[in-house]
């Protein structure tokens, strides 16, 4: 993953209770909660990727994640940096 294609999927996350102090409450302007949780976890060095396939990720026509975003490339980059900035404030100033 990278700042463009974030590798975080909420259905595949497990968290340590200590991370909740940094994750919650969600900022009001954050709509991609998976990214928020993932970035906080990375910043707190509590992120681990398991290479084993643990779920059967089926894509259907009605999946939100499949639909083409109406947002421009530059807006996507901007939004990800907003999430990163807010996460850094939360982690390093709490």
Domain contains 2: no
Q: Tell me, what's the pLDDT at 70? A: 86
Domain contains 21: yes
Domain contains 39: yes
In tens digits, the chain (94 residues) has pLDDT values of 676 778 888 888 888 899 999 999 999 988 889 999 999 999 999 888 888 887 887 777 777 665 677 889 899 899 999 999 999 999 998 6
Q: Tell me, what's the pLDDT at 24? A: 96
Q: Tell me, what's the pLDDT at 22? A: 96
Domain contains 38: yes
Domain contains 88: yes
Q: Residue 24 belongs to what domain range?
A: 10-50+63-92
Q: Give buried/exposed letters for 63-87 (b at 16+ CB in 10 A, else e).
A: eeeeeeeeeeeeeeeebbeebbebb
Domains held by the chain: number? 1
Which tokens sit at 54?
């643990």
Q: Tell me, what's the pLDDT at 66? A: 56
Domain contains 40: yes
Domain contains 58: no
The gap from C-alpha 82 to its chain's centroid, in whole angstroms, comes to 12
Q: Tell me, what's the pLDDT at 68? A: 74
Q: Counting runs of H as helices and runs of E as strands, what totals does the chain give?
A: 3, 0
């Amino acid at each position: 993953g990278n700042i463009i294609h974030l590798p975080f999927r909420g259905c595949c996350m497990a968290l340590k209770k200590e991370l909740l102090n940094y994750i919650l409450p969600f900022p009001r302007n954050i709509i991609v909660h998976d990214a928020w949780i993932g970035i906080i976890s990375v910043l707190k060095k509590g992120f681990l990727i398991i290479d084993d396939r643990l779920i059967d990720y089926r894509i259907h026509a009605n999946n939100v994640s499949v639909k083409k975003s109406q947002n421009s490339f530059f807006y996507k980059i901007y939004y990800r940096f907003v999430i990163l900035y807010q996460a850094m404030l939360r982690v390093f100033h709490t």
